[in-house]
Amino acid sequence: MAKRHAPGWTLNLALLAACLAGVAWFWGPAAGALISIDSGSAQVLFRKRLCELHPRANVLVFGNSIAGEGFLVNAFNEKARSHFALNLGVPSAHWFLLERMATMAREQGLRPAVVVLLTAPEHFSERKDFDFLENDLALAKPILSAKDLERLGAHVSTPLDYVNYAGPVLLRPMLYSGELRSAALSPNLHRRQTEALQAHLADMQAEGPMAENGNTFSACDATPLATLADRMPALRAAADPRLGEFERVLAGLNARAGVPMAVDARELRRFRHLLLLLREMTPKVIVAPASYYDPGFTQYPPPFRREMRDAIAAIVSETPGTELAPALNTDCTDFMDTVHFNHKGAGRFTESILEAIEGAGHSDGV
C-alpha cells in the first residue's frame, strides 16, 4: 500500500508551491505593474522606453542625477550634425546600476559611437551612511535578469557580501517591498500612480521632445551657503516664492557637508571595470567628472578632490579609447544647488560635449 502524506505535510507542500509561484511571478514582466510613477524604478523604465523608441541613437549619456540634470538632450540633438543622443542618467545611480543601464541599452540593440559617463564624487568614496549597491538593485528591479547574479560578483568584496546582495535579486519580492507596502496601505492611491506610469510610458513617442533640465534658479541666490540654514526661518515666514529652491540647496548641502570623503580602492576597481565594459560597446568613451559649487570646501575637502582627480585621470589614461571631457570653469550662476547644473550650466556642459564629439563649430551655444 502506498504511503500517504500526513495532512500537515500536504499543507506545507502547498504553501511552498504557492511561495515559489509567487517568487516566479515577480521574475516575470507582470511585476512591473506594481511600480508607480513616483518610484525610483520608474526612472529606469522611462529610459528603457527611450531606448525602444530610438534604436539608432549613437550617443548615450550615463550617470546619476548630475547627468540627468546636466545634459540637455534636445538641445544637443538639434545642434549635432551627425549624432543623436539619449540621456540615460538615473538619480542616485551608482556603479552597478550604471553598468546595468549600459547592458540594458545593449540588450535593446543600441550600438553607440560615443558613450559619455558623468561621474560624481560619491562614486569614488565608500560612504558608510548609505548602501549604494542595495539602492542600485532596488532601482534596477524591472530590468534585472538571472545574468545579474553573475554580474553582481564584480561589485562585492566577500562571499558573505555576495550572499547578502544576491538574496534580494533571487527572491525578487524583497526588491518590491516598497511597492507592496504602498499597495497594502493605500491601494487606491497606489493603483492611480501605477496607472499614471503606464499611461506616461504609452504616451512617449519618438517624435516628441525628451525631458531635460529647464530650471533657471541660480545657487548665487542662496549664498552665502554658510548662513543659509540660519536664514531659512525668515524665508519660510516671508513665503518666499523661491522657498522650494532654497530648501533643495540646503537639503543637498546638509546631506554632504561634513561627511568623511576618501577615495576608495574598491570604487576605483569598479570604475575601471565599467570603463572596460563600456569600451566593449563603443569605440569612444568620454569621462566627465562632475563639477560642483563648493566654495567653502564643506562637501569635498581639497585632499579628496586632488586624489579623486588624479585617480580618474590615471585610469582614463591607461584605458584605450577613453578620454576626459573638457574641463569647465564654473561658478554659482551655473548651478541650481551645490551639485546640479541649472539650465545655463547644463547648456554650457552640453556644448562642451558636443564640441568634444563633433569638433569646432558650435561656439554659439546650445
Per-residue pLDDT of the chain (366 residues; tens, 9 = 90+): 555 555 666 665 555 455 554 566 677 788 889 999 999 999 999 999 999 999 999 999 999 999 999 999 999 999 999 999 999 999 999 999 999 999 999 999 999 999 999 999 999 998 888 999 999 999 999 999 999 999 999 999 999 999 999 999 998 889 999 999 999 999 999 999 999 999 999 999 999 999 999 999 999 999 999 999 999 999 999 999 999 999 999 999 999 998 999 999 999 999 999 999 999 999 999 999 999 999 999 999 999 999 999 999 999 999 999 999 999 999 999 999 999 999 999 999 999 999 999 986 655 566
What pLDDT is recorded for position 128?
Answer: 81
What pLDDT is recorded for position 360?
Answer: 61
Of 162, 175, 221, 253, residue with least CA distance to 342: 221
What pLDDT is recorded for position 61?
Answer: 98
What pLDDT is recorded for position 98?
Answer: 98
What pLDDT is recorded for position 28?
Answer: 78
- The two beta strands, 85-87 and 114-119, are unpaired
Give CA–CA dist 6/199, Å, rounded: 50
What pLDDT is recorded for position 11?
Answer: 60
How is the chain split into domains, by residue range? Answer: 32-358
What pLDDT is recorded for position 127?
Answer: 81
What pLDDT is recorded for position 17?
Answer: 54
Q: How far is CA 63 from CA 88, 92, 94, 311, 363, in A?
A: 7, 9, 8, 18, 25
Q: What is this structure's pTM?
A: 0.92
- The two beta strands, 285-289 and 114-119, are parallel
Topology of the domain covering 32-358 = Rossmann fold (3.40.50)
Give CA–CA dist 142/40, Å, rounded: 11
Does the bond joining 7 to the residue before it have cis omega, within 30 degrees of 0? no
CB 294 within 8 A of CB 120: no
Cα 267-129-275 angle, rounded to 5 deg: 20
What pLDDT is recorded for position 177?
Answer: 92
Tally of CB atoms within 10 A around 166: 17
Locate the DSSP E strands across 306-354: 322-324
CB 326 within 8 A of CB 356: yes
CB 152 within 8 A of CB 166: yes
- The two beta strands, 85-87 and 59-62, are parallel
The owner of cell 534636445 is 74
Name residues whose C-beta falls within 8 Å of residue 328's C-beta, 6 or more positions apart in sequence. Answer: 291, 334, 348, 349, 352
What pLDDT is recorded for position 212?
Answer: 96
Give CA–CA dist 324/285, Å, rounded: 9
Give CA–CA dist 138/157, Å, rounded: 20
What pLDDT is recorded for position 255?
Answer: 93
Burial class from Cβ neighbours inside 10 Å (0-12, 13-18, 19+) for residue 187 reads exposed
Q: Under DSSP, is residue 224 helix (H, G, I), strand (E, B) or coil?
A: coil
What pLDDT is recorded for position 30?
Answer: 85
What pLDDT is recorded for position 50?
Answer: 98
